[in-house]
Amino acid sequence: MNKSTILSTAPSLEGRRQLRFRWLVGAQAVVLLGIAGLAWATDHWGQTLRLHTRPVDPRNILYGDYVRLNYDVSQLDASLWRGSGEIPERGRRVWVLLRKAQPAWLPLGVYGTEPDAGADQVALPAQVETSWSRSLNLNYGLERYYLPEGTGKKLEDAAADSTGLLVRVQVAPWGTVRLQGVEL
Amino acid sequence: MSRKFIETEGPRWVAEGIITAEQQVRLLRLYPEQERAIGLLPLLGGLLLGLGVLSLVAANWQDLPELVRLAILLFTLLAAYAAGEQALRRQQRPLGIGLLSVGLLTFGAGIVLTGQMYHLVSHDARALLLWATAGLALTWLYRSRFLYLLTLTILCGAMWFSVQEFHVYSFVGLALLVGGLGWYWFRQPEQLLGWGFSLGWLTAMGLLLDYYHQPFVWLLPLLGLLYVAGDWLPQRRQALAVQLLPMAAAWFVAASVAANGEDASMLDELRKAGAPYVLALLVLVAASAVGKRRQGALLSLSDWLIFLPLFFLPAGPVVIVLQLLGLYAFAGAVLWAGYREQWRAEVNAGTVLFILASALAYFRLTWAFLDKSLFFIGGGVLLLALSWWLRRRNEQVLAQAAPASSTPGHE
């Protein structure tokens, strides 16, 4: 190999590596922006519903910087099961069809596959935490609320009041779920 | 040669007249001291500054507006990667890889923190797998062992989290482990990577069996795949890093059978693996044999002795004695190979295995049909005979080698 070919190939190899590195770093930045974009898009195109909840332990509401929430729809009667076969076992993915009501939305049924939601209805994905013959314990991924600064005290006051809280949840048409905030 | 070495040894060289005092000073001048000290200062300064900024941001994280938080994450990500690349271009490899790792960790923290900031609900471990994928790409791009192990940790963590949190076994994670990290090791079979990959494979297979509620003894054929992969490497010696863990696991199961061979419930538990288990082992042994032949090490097929599924026999003394004989045979094969290849580590391993098998036999055994002392006397005589034969053979080999080496070029 003579000198001129070394000079011409070496920078191009290094250049290609450089290019790959930039793509890789750029892609990671895009992923982070994408997550923020997903939240924004859910805000924009998603349907908003309200769920009634209580902090799990009202006396000690602040676990670090988040609070644990237990929803009315976290425990559902097994008679609401609309899927085929037995009541779903632990770990199974299900959808809870909710209909609009005041103040909080109410459950219509629990499905094993995503049901078609009518007007003023939303299918919220959940996971079976425990299941007995009479009831289903569901996990929506909405059970942890990271507190925005300054809301801790207000939340604590509201929780001490036996009426509980309303949580605003957004569900995008493509399935993204977001806890938008707590109504105080 | 380091400056310190010249400083300590120099006066003696001068005293012995090897170099003059002036030459010693000139030599010392070649290795200036300031350079390293000065190079270290900005690094320490940067570290302190970084820690300070990190704690400041962490303490006020919830106070900051969302867009500012996002901007901080993105800036940290880009800055760490750019600085890492810069350091690598200046040939400062440890610093460069360290900064790239900070970039990768920032990416993971960014995923978690951004999701948390917007209260997004995740239904699977996709985001974490994306993180591992970024680590995989970095590993391949920079060929770094540190990045390899970091990525392995992230990937295993993601797979564990998927099962734990979402009750889903991540086959995408498994594909990344095998196709990304496994293939990387196969192409660059370094010891450390082999060890790392072994542990990663053990984690992935353990999770798989746990998730599908399969008998844990299936771990042996699944680890056996790793053993076979070692047989298909171009060089035999590199295989040890991935073959030791499967053999240790098989030895442990065999030892349990030897220790509790009359416990029918334990054997029943193991037997749940069923006929497919035996079939899987047969396929593995065949694949291993083909690989070993290519490596020219067909004799090491004796490693599979401890994989023998003797627990399919009815519980009782027969299982115990056969399993003990299996363990002895394995120890003997390792010793034999060690002597043959003149490899001290293998001889030591064989000795330890032999002692362990003897301890098991001695403290175990309900010797209803065979006198315990007879078993040991027989074993001892066999071993002494073997050692005598090996020594004689060694002498013969040496005697043959001596005249051969005196006539070079005669081949």
Cross-chain residue pair B118–A36, CB shorter than 8 Å: yes
Helix axes B145-166, B191-211, angle to 10 degrees: 10
A34 and B CB contact within 8 Å: no
- How far, in Å, CA of B193 to CA of B181, rounded? 9
B115 and A CB contact within 8 Å: yes
- How far, in Å, CA of B232 to CA of B294, rounded? 8
Q: Sign (positive/negative) of CA torsion B199, B204, B208, B211?
A: positive
Of A28, A145, A177, nearest to B107 by CB-CB distance is: A28
* Per-residue confidence (pLDDT) for residue B360, from 0 to 100: 83
Element (H, E) at A39: helix A3-45
Work out the pLDDT band at B391, boundaries 50, 70, 90: confident
The nearest alpha carbon in chain A to B162 belongs to A91
* Per-residue confidence (pLDDT) for residue B217, from 0 to 100: 92
Task: Write the ipTM.
Answer: 0.83
Contacts of A149 in chain B (CB under 8 A): 62-63
| One domain, residues A59 and A40 | no
| One domain, residues A62 and A145 | yes
| One domain, residues A37 and A56 | no
pLDDT exceeds 70 at position B31:
yes
* Per-residue confidence (pLDDT) for residue B192, from 0 to 100: 93
pLDDT (mean) for B329-334: 90
* Per-residue confidence (pLDDT) for residue B260, from 0 to 100: 85
- How far, in Å, CA of A35 to CA of B118, rounded? 9
How many Cβ pairs closer than 8 A exist between chain A and B? 89
pLDDT (mean) for A77-91: 85
A27 and B CB contact within 8 Å: yes
- How far, in Å, CA of B40 to CA of A129, rounded? 53
Token readout for B42 is 């900005």
Token readout for A156 is 């604590």
Token readout for B395 is 């002498």
Chain A residues 89-148 with CB within 8 Å of chain B = 90-93, 125, 127, 140-142, 145-148
Strand A47-55 relative to strand A66-71, pairing: antiparallel
B69 or A4: whose pLDDT is higher?
B69
- Please tell me which of A104-118, A159-173, B56-70 the model is most confident about, judged by mean pLDDT: A104-118
Chain B residues 140-199 with CB within 8 Å of chain A = 141, 166-167
pLDDT (mean) for B85-110: 91
pLDDT (mean) for B304-316: 90
Q: Tens of pLDDT along B137-148?
A: 999 999 999 999
Work out the pLDDT band at B95, boundaries 50, 70, 90: confident
Contacts of A180 in chain B (CB under 8 A): 119
Cross-chain residue pair A145–B119, CB shorter than 8 Å: yes
- Please tell me which of B127-136, B318-327, B381-390 the model is most confident about, judged by mean pLDDT: B127-136
* Per-residue confidence (pLDDT) for residue B316, from 0 to 100: 82
| One domain, residues A7 and A92 | no
| One domain, residues A31 and A53 | no
pLDDT exceeds 50 at position B409:
no
- Identify the DSSP state of B365: -
pLDDT exceeds 80 at position B383:
no
- Please tell me which of A20-29, B2-11, B333-342 the model is most confident about, judged by mean pLDDT: A20-29
| One domain, residues A34 and A62 | no
Work out the pLDDT band at B174, boundaries 50, 70, 90: very high
Q: State the distance between the two ends of chain A, measured CA to CA, in whole angstroms.
A: 76
Cross-chain residue pair A149–B63, CB shorter than 8 Å: yes
| One domain, residues A74 and A154 | yes
| One domain, residues A89 and A178 | yes
* Per-residue confidence (pLDDT) for residue A3, from 0 to 100: 46
Structure-token match 């982070």, residue found: A32
Q: How far is A113 from chain B (nearest CA, A)?
A: 15
Cross-chain residue pair A36–B114, CB shorter than 8 Å: yes
Q: Sign (positive/negative) of CA torsion A157, A159, A161, A167?
A: positive
Domains held by chain A: number: 2
- Identify the DSSP state of A63: B
CB proximity list for B326: less than 8 A, separation 6 or greater:
B254, B305, B306, B308, B310
Q: Is A22 left (phi over 0), alpha (psi -120 to 50) or beta?
A: alpha
Q: Sign (positive/negative) of CA torsion B389, B394, B397, B399?
A: negative
pLDDT exceeds 90 at position A2:
no
- How far, in Å, CA of B295 to CA of B299, rounded? 11
β-bridge partners, A94: A126
| One domain, residues A82 and A165 | yes
Range in B21-30, B152-161, B310-319, B393-402 the model is least confident about: B393-402
| One domain, residues A110 and A141 | yes
Structure-token match 């003059």, residue found: B20
Cross-chain residue pair B119–A178, CB shorter than 8 Å: yes
| One domain, residues A132 and A70 | yes
- How far, in Å, CA of B321 to CA of B302, rounded? 19
- How far, in Å, CA of A2 to CA of A5, rounded? 6
- Give pairs for B312-319: CB < 8 Å, separation 24+: B312/B271, B312/B278, B314/B267, B315/B261, B315/B262, B315/B263, B315/B264, B315/B267, B316/B261, B316/B262, B317/B261, B317/B262, B317/B365, B317/B366, B317/B367, B317/B368, B317/B369, B319/B257, B319/B261, B319/B262, B319/B267
Token readout for B337 is 């190979």
* Per-residue confidence (pLDDT) for residue A64, from 0 to 100: 56
B81 and A CB contact within 8 Å: yes
Closest C-alpha among A127, A103, A112 to residue A49: A103
- How far, in Å, CA of A4 to CA of B324, rounded? 69
- How far, in Å, CA of B92 to CA of B1, rounded? 19
Q: Which domain holds residue A96?
A: 47-183
pLDDT (mean) for B74-89: 94
- How far, in Å, CA of B117 to CA of B66, rounded? 7
- How far, in Å, CA of B95 to CA of A85, rounded? 59
pTM reported for the whole predicted model:
0.81
B69 or B403: whose pLDDT is higher?
B69
| One domain, residues A39 and A73 | no
Instruction: Indicate the domain borders of chain B.
Output: 222-396
pLDDT exceeds 90 at position B406:
no
pLDDT exceeds 70 at position A4:
no
pLDDT (mean) for B198-214: 95
pLDDT exceeds 90 at position B290:
yes
Structure-token match 């990190």, residue found: B54
Closest C-alpha among A172, A152, A168, A177 to residue A52: A168
B165 or B397: whose pLDDT is higher?
B165
Q: Which residue out of B97, B120, B164 would a mutagenesis test of the A interface target, given it has the greatest number of A Cβ atoms within 10 Å?
A: B120
pLDDT exceeds 80 at position A129:
yes
Work out the pLDDT band at B39, boundaries 50, 70, 90: low
The nearest alpha carbon in chain A to B136 belongs to A24
Percent residues over pLDDT 70 in chain B: 91
A164 or B200: whose pLDDT is higher?
B200
Of A21, A92, A140, nearest to B85 by CB-CB distance is: A21
Cross-chain residue pair A31–B78, CB shorter than 8 Å: no
Mean pLDDT score of chain B: 86
Work out the pLDDT band at A150, boundaries 50, 70, 90: low
* Per-residue confidence (pLDDT) for residue B403, from 0 to 100: 57
B117 and A CB contact within 8 Å: yes
Mean pLDDT score of chain A: 83
CB proximity list for B18: less than 8 A, separation 6 or greater:
none
Cross-chain residue pair A32–B118, CB shorter than 8 Å: no
B343 backbone dihedrals φ, ψ, rounded to 5°: -115, 105
* DSSP per-residue string spanning B103-163: HHHHHHHHHHHHHHHTTB---SSHHHHHHHHHHHHHHHHHT-HHHHHHHHHHHHHHHHHHH
Q: Tens of pLDDT along A22-79?
A: 999 999 999 999 999 999 999 999 999 999 988 776 555 555 567 788 899 999 988 8
Element (H, E) at A89: none
pLDDT exceeds 90 at position B284:
yes
- How far, in Å, CA of B411 to CA of B403, rounded? 13
Q: How far is CA B293 from the centre of its chain?
A: 24
